[in-house]
Amino acid sequence: MSIVVLARLMARTGRVAEPAPPRPELAPGVDPVLRGSLQVRHVDAGSCGGCEVELGAAFGPVYDAERYGARLVASPRHADALLVTGAVTHNMAEPLRMTYAATPGPKVVIACGDCALGLGPVCAGYGVAGTVADVVDVDVAVPGCPPRPEAVVAALRSVTGR
């Protein structure tokens, strides 16, 4: 596709992002150095995949979490925040602990979805070791099964303050 065709397509499509809702309250207890810009490592600790679909939407062009200063990164070494989904399975408890340890401080943990909070449909399963808070310190909780993209974005904004 030529640059001219691309420019025409962009002009015709216009803006697709949702208008920004009012800024949510700041999450208490978050180190102020994390405000403004937040690098986020996602950890699936035992999700069914539903939360990930909504996370994909939260970082997609419509909800566009990046415009509020939150960005997904590929390594905990590059992250300020862990965004954890799913009930923590026995197999994922130690990797989650290690991922937390590999994330440089100050850092924040966002437990995303009912399963991460111990409220989800699979929490009593034989393979589940516990909630995210049973394994690492949780700073922000996002309830819902799955949480809507707006709720995920609001949780991220409560940390970035944007």
Q: Which residues contact 140 (CB under 8 A, 6 or more apart)?
A: 27, 30, 108, 109, 110, 111, 155, 158, 159
Task: Name the residue number minimizing CB distance to ligand SF4.
Answer: 50
Residue 86 or 149: the one with the smaller Cβ distance to ligand SF4 is 86
Minimum CB distance to ligand SF4, residue 54 (Å): 8
Residues 76 and 103: beta-carbon distance below 8 Å: yes
Q: Which residues contact 78 (CB under 8 A, 6 or more apart)?
A: 39, 41
Minimum CB distance to ligand SF4, residue 112 (Å): 8
Minimum CB distance to ligand SF4, residue 26 (Å): 25
Residue 148 or 162: the one with the smaller Cβ distance to ligand SF4 is 148
Residue 47 or 160: the one with the smaller Cβ distance to ligand SF4 is 47
Residue 86 or 161: the one with the smaller Cβ distance to ligand SF4 is 86
Distance of alpha carbon 44 from alpha carbon 86, whole angstroms? 6
- Give contact residues for ligand SF4 (rule: CB under 6 A): 47-48, 50-51, 85-86, 113-115, 120-122, 145-146
Residue burial 86-102, b: 16+ Cβ < 10 Å; e: rest: bbbbeebbeebeebbee
